[in-house]
Amino acid sequence: MNTLVTVCITTYNRKTLLPLTLKSVLNQTYKNIEIIIVDDYSMDGTQELVENELLKLDNRIKYIRHDKNYGLAMARNTAIKNAKGKYFTFCDDDDEWKPNFIEEFVKVAENYDDNWCFSSGFNYKDSLKNIIYKGFTPPVAGQFYHLSSIKKVNGYNEEIKSGVDHDLWLRLASNDINILGIDKPLAIPNKNQQQDRMTTNYEKRLNGIKNSLEVWQPMIEINFSKNFYKFFRKNYFYYVYKGFLIKSLQIKDFKKSILFFVKLNKILFFRDIIRLLKKRILKKRYPSFFEYKGEK
């Protein structure tokens, strides 16, 4: 088991967080990796940090800096274009990995061709399309791909500014890719994320999702169904508002909590909101979206 794995770390103005993410990648038990740091035009001293310190830590690290801020999709595409590995995975600059992250994925992936992709956190083996119908969404920091699978769909859609991972799953599903889930907590998502980030970026996030849903509509209607698009759109707003509600409660911003609760209540019944919050508090694992039971 000595196949090269490409690890993408995209970063933007996270000078203090980037070294923690990089450390978790360097500490992997699986050693045959290349690490491509893509700096999406940071202006906080990230370039100096990488060039003067981080590149000296390990010769497996490569650094690419954009000449302007293009967004996450293009940053990942830059890594894909420069990748030499058979497999491709990523760890964003506010996430970390358990030491056995890559080892566990490679052990599984070596038994499957590039009609399969992989994720952690849930135990499933199905077509990606069926998984989406069942309400599962991409895990933030636990995805693993054959590089050739991603190249089949031309990488990430650079029109998408919010929902980049969802976009990739939708396009892979439209190309009949299957998925296998590893039921182990291999990633630590958003470990270093500032608590007020979701609430302060509320309008930007919401506008980004509205744009993404417009871009996705023709693809979803053709490859899933028109009814599923309506269902998916409703679920996405529920997903966003739920996240904002939970985050605002965590930071005790009760004014925003009421705002997001009211918005959620327009989508779900009151009892459903309470049920979902209870599951979150009890940390029960469940699909992020509701399961689609309509006509396929």
The CA distances from residue 220 to 163, 171, 231, 283, in Å, are 14, 9, 11, 31
Give this prediction's pTM: 0.90
DSSP characters over 199-253: HHTHHHHHHHHHHHHHHHHHHHHHHT-HHHHHHHHHHHHHHHHHHHHHHHHHTT-
Checking if the pLDDT of 264 tops 80, the result is: no
Rg of the chain taking only CA atoms, in angstroms: 19
pLDDT at 286: 63
Provide the 3-class DSSP secondary structure of residue 85: coil
pLDDT at 280: 52
* pLDDT one-digit tens code per residue, 99-137: 999 999 999 999 999 999 999 988 999 999 999 999 999
Can you name the residues that pair with 119 across neighbouring β-strands? 143, 181
Using 50, 70 and 90 to split pLDDT, how confident is the model at 196? Answer: very low
- Give, in words, the CATH class of 5-188: alpha beta
* pLDDT one-digit tens code per residue, 21-73: 999 999 999 999 999 999 999 999 999 999 999 999 999 999 999 999 999 99
pLDDT at 86: 98
CATH 3.90.550.10 domain extents, the chain: 5-188
Q: Which pair of tokens denotes residue 113?
A: 């061709």
Q: What is the mean pLDDT of the chain?
A: 89
Using 50, 70 and 90 to split pLDDT, how confident is the model at 270? Answer: low
pLDDT at 282: 46
* Helix extents (H) in 14-100: 18-26, 46-52, 72-82
Q: Which pair of tokens denotes residue 95?
A: 């996430």
Which of 181, 128, 186 minimizes the C-alpha distance to 152? 128
Provide the 3-class DSSP secondary structure of residue 280: helix
Using 50, 70 and 90 to split pLDDT, how confident is the model at 243? Answer: confident
